[in-house]
């Protein structure tokens, strides 16, 4: 494992593999690279001939955090991601993958540094734009619940929430954020949103969107809208656990197909890929 000090936090990450193009794998809100592995969301396990960088976002997993909620917005998490990539793979085009918060982080990062990403894989995109306001209010309410009654009350509340069909067999797990920091992380998430729709048209990296049904916090409408807005994307929807089991193979195929080399001028050649709904 390795660490990097960025804006008051120590970010924890690891890199596996000795050679090949770099893949950076992120995780969702209140999760970590270890927790995502337990949930079956470690898509890099099917990929060969690549280095894989797994990063715990600030305040999550093995990374420390700060007491400033704004540091946990997806736009600021994108700055963290780019700083880690500058340290680990300066000037290298990488393949990015991540669910929910990881999706938001990568989209902001791709707009900040367009030539950095050779491909993107957006897993279960979260609420965004018009649907984000209600989700933000839920985060603020949960932050107050944790401060008043502890994380146990929050976990109990979550146990009554319907599980998406695609996660019917996933094991239960606790938040990968310290209880003392969790309200701050949630308030930061309440300030987060995907980039403006018009800006997304500037992201031309080949993009695979993996979504599932029956999850109000990761609505299929966000994934569908992203597929319409991103100029070089395709969408695959899982409706059962078996659909999610296919994701590592789909991801590996996407990375290999979209794989490109950084040109001597530092730009990424455009890779043509057909769109699918």
The per-residue pLDDT for range 89-108, each reduced to its tens digit, is 999 999 999 999 999 999 99
Higher pLDDT, 37 or 26: 26
Domain 2-258 is classified in which CATH homologous superfamily?
Answer: Alpha/Beta hydrolase fold, catalytic domain (3.40.50.1820)
Q: Give Cβ neighbours of residue 80 (< 8 Å, ≥ 6 apart).
A: 6, 7, 9, 11, 57, 58
Q: Give Cβ neighbours of residue 198 (< 8 Å, ≥ 6 apart).
A: none
Is residue 161 predicted with pLDDT exceeding 70?
no
CB atoms within 10 A of CB 150: 12
When the pLDDT of each residue in the chain is averaged and rounded to a whole number, the result is 89
Which pLDDT belongs to residue 104?
98
Residue with tokens 């998430």: 189
Closest-CA residue to 39 (of 57, 56, 27, 53): 27
Is residue 276 predicted with pLDDT exceeding 90?
no
Q: Give Cβ neighbours of residue 126 (< 8 Å, ≥ 6 apart).
A: 100, 101, 103, 104, 135, 194, 217, 218, 222
Which pLDDT belongs to residue 168?
65
Which pLDDT belongs to residue 159?
56
Pairing type for strands 9-16 and 2-6 reads antiparallel
Angle between helices 101-112 and 74-88 (to 10 degrees): 70
Is residue 277 predicted with pLDDT exceeding 70?
no
Which pLDDT belongs to residue 266?
36
C-alpha dihedral over 167, 214, 242, 124, to 10 degrees?
-80
Among 37-46, 165-174, 181-190, 264-273, where is mean pLDDT lowest?
264-273
Is residue 230 predicted with pLDDT exceeding 60?
yes
Q: Identify the band that residue 242 occupies on the pLDDT scale cut at 50, 70 and 90.
A: confident
Q: Give Cβ neighbours of residue 251 (< 8 Å, ≥ 6 apart).
A: 43, 44, 46, 47, 97, 121, 208, 210
pLDDT tens track for 181-225: 999 999 999 999 999 999 999 999 999 999 999 899 999 999 999
Domain boundaries, the chain: 2-258
């Amino acid at each position: 494992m390795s660490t990097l000090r960025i804006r008051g936090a120590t970010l924890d990450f690891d890199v596996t593999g000795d050679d090949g193009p770099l893949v950076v794998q992120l995780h969702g809100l209140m999760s970590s690279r270890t927790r995502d592995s337990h949930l079956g969301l470690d898509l890099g396990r099917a990929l060969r001939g690549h280095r894989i960088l797994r990063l715990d976002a600030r305040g999550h997993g093995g990374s420390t955090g700060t007491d400033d909620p704004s540091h946990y917005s997806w736009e600021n998490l994108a700055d963290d991601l780019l700083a880690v990539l500058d340290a680990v793979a300066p000037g290298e085009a990488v393949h990015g993958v991540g669910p929910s918060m990881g999706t938001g982080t990568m989209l902001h990062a791709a707009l900040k540094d367009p030539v950095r990403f050779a491909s993107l894989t957006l897993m279960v995109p979260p609420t965004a734009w018009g649907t984000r306001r209600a989700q933000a209010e839920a985060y603020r309410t949960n932050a107050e619940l944790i401060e008043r009654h502890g994380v146990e009350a929050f976990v109990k509340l979550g146990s009554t929430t319907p599980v998406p069909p695609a996660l019917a067999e996933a094991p239960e797990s606790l938040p990968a954020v310290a209880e003392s920091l969790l309200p701050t992380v949630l308030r930061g998430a309440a300030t987060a949103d995907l980039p403006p729709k018009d800006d997304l048209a500037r992201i031309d990296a080949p993009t695979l969107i993996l979504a599932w049904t029956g999850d109000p916090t990761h609505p299929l409408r966000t994934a569908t809208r992203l597929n319409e807005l991103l100029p070089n994307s395709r969408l695959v929807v899982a409706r059962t656990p078996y659909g999610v089991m296919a994701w590592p193979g789909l991801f590996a195929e996407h990375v290999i197909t979209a794989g490109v080399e950084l040109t001597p001028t530092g730009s990424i050649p455009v890779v043509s890929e057909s769109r699918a709904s």
